[in-house]
Amino acid sequence: MVVLLLGGGRCAGPPSVADEARRGTGRLGTVTTSSVGPSASQIRRWRRYLAEERAEAALYRELAMRRHGEERDILLQLAEAEGRHAAHWEDLLGVNIGLPLRPSLASRMLTFMARRFNGVVVLTLAQRAESRSAYAEDEHATPTMAADERIHEEVVRSLAARGRQRMSGSFRAAVFGMNDGLVSNLALVLGVGAAGVDTVAILLAGMAGLLAGALSMGAGEYVSIRSQRELLAASSPSPTANEALPGLDVDANELALVYRARGMPAHEADAHAEDVLARLDFAGDHEADDHEEIGSAWSAALSSFLLFSMGAIIPVLPYLVGMTGMAAVVVSAALVGLALVITGSIVGLLSGAPPALRALRQLAIGWGAAAATYALGLLFNSGA
């Protein structure tokens, strides 16, 4: 491996990343170098990489400031890793480093959001940014750096998953409520309108659909989550079971049956029960399965009711302002389409999926359902 001409001498001391890279055994792995100085395009690319690494390090430090405990430590270690990557490009650039280069607009926006928000959206966007790393195809990035970026994506994905779990109950109800309100009432309004009825009848149908759907969604969410919580509570260990420990027959060891009933093999159940009895501490107090956060029944019901109502009112708006005929149909479908694109994009962002694809999927489903009922209304109208 020949020397990469970076210009300028270096004082004696520990070898830098670039020094070690020239020998093929750098701290971050092996890179390919050239016998001539870096080209202008290489310098531009390295400076862009440097700016992005500095921005990612700043992003993780900003996120860490708003967290505590293990999550804070994980984010600070990610920032430290991005700092090592930045040092690699600094060493390769040498005297060509020039003035600090601004990171991309997306990176600046992400850092801006991290300074003001602490939500799962920021982590999800950071996850997508990590997934777009070009280090695996760049000969001047080491294999270690490329592997780091792939692992960083999984680390951020796991952190984002914690946030998704904490917000899963009410958020799920809110998104589904909004989407159902948009699609169901658009289909209802267009179907009734295509049948040839007047504007008053369309308005009555739309408002009746709004109220009936919102009440149905709210009641359904309340019953669903309430029932789920009751089922989980019935499956959880009794908090008073530890009171029976002092009276158990140590030789018969009835406690082992508890662990066997939970799926533990017999020999492990016996050993674990003996250990628990020796400490007179019922393991169920702290070994019960952590169930997924499902949210409050009232919170989910209220979110579903309000979001369904917000979605269901949108298709009715053109008729409320006096529009009629095809103009009202087009405006109603356009407004609902815009709302579907927004909700689909949000779902995509929070799930880590491409937001554009999720938006198009929502749009296709909503417009497809509305087109079917509109065609059915036209059929009834023509047969009347």
Residues 82 and 130 grouped into a single domain = yes
- 343 and 353 in a single domain? The answer is yes
pLDDT tens figures, 183-201: 999 999 999 988 888 889 9
Same domain, 123 and 56: yes
Amino acid at 203: L
Q: Establish if 9 belongs to a structural domain.
A: no
Q: Is the dihedral of CA 298, 299, 300, 306 positive or negative?
A: positive
Q: Is 78 part of any domain?
A: yes
**156 occurs within a structural domain:** yes
Over the chain, what is the mean pLDDT? 76
Is the pTM of the predicted complex or chain greater than 0.75?
no
Closest CA to 93 of 140, 145, 25: 140
Classify the C-alpha dihedral 265-267-273-279 as positive or negative.
negative
Amino acid 28: pLDDT: 57
* Among 252, 287, 322, residue at a domain's last position: 287
Give the integer Cα–Cα distance in Å for 174 and 313. 15
pLDDT at 287 over 70: no
Rounded-to-integer distance, Cα 75 and Cα 89, Å: 22
Q: Does residue 3 surpass a pLDDT of 70?
A: no
Same domain? 157 vs 269: no
116 and 263 in a single domain? The answer is no
Q: Are residues 224 and 351 in the same domain?
A: yes
**If you count them, how many residues does the chain have?**
384
In a shared domain, residues 57 and 117: yes
Q: Tell me if 209 sits within 8 A of 325, measured CB to CB.
A: no
Are 243 and 335 found together in one domain?
A: no
The pLDDT confidence band at residue 31, using thresholds 50, 70 and 90, is low
Domain assignment present for residue 3? The answer is no
State pLDDT tens for residues 120-150.
778 877 877 787 788 888 888 888 888 888 8
* 141 plus 207 within the same structural domain: no
* Rounded distance between C-alpha atoms, residue 132 and residue 201, angstroms: 52
Q: Concatenated DSSP letters for 59-128?
A: HHHHHHHT--HHHHHHHHHHHHHHHHHHHHHHHHHGGGG-SPPP--HHHHHHHHHHHH--SHHHHHHHHH
**Does any domain span residue 103?**
yes
As a 3-state breakdown, the chain gives helix, strand, coil percent values, each rounded to 5, of 75, 0, 25
DSSP-assigned beta bridge partners for residue 29: 26
On whether the CB atoms of residues 76 and 61 are closer than 8 A, the answer is yes
Which one is predicted more confidently, 97 or 230? 97
Same domain assignment for residues 212 and 333: yes
Is 37 a member of any domain? yes
Among 166, 195, 224, residue at a domain's last position: 166
**Distance in angstroms (rounded) separating the CA atoms of residues 7 and 95:** 6
- Domains of the chain: total: 3
pLDDT tens, position by position, 78-116: 999 999 999 999 888 887 777 667 888 888 888 787 777
167-172 average pLDDT score: 59
Q: What is the extent of the structural domain holding 142?
A: 17-166
Question: 217 in a domain, yes or no?
Answer: yes
**Inter-residue contact 337 to 366 (CB < 8 Å):** yes
Together in a domain, 64 and 143: yes
Q: Does residue 51 belong to any structural domain of this protein?
A: yes
Co-location of 247 and 120 in the same domain: no
At 166 the pLDDT is 60
Listed residues 166, 190, 220: the one ending a domain: 166
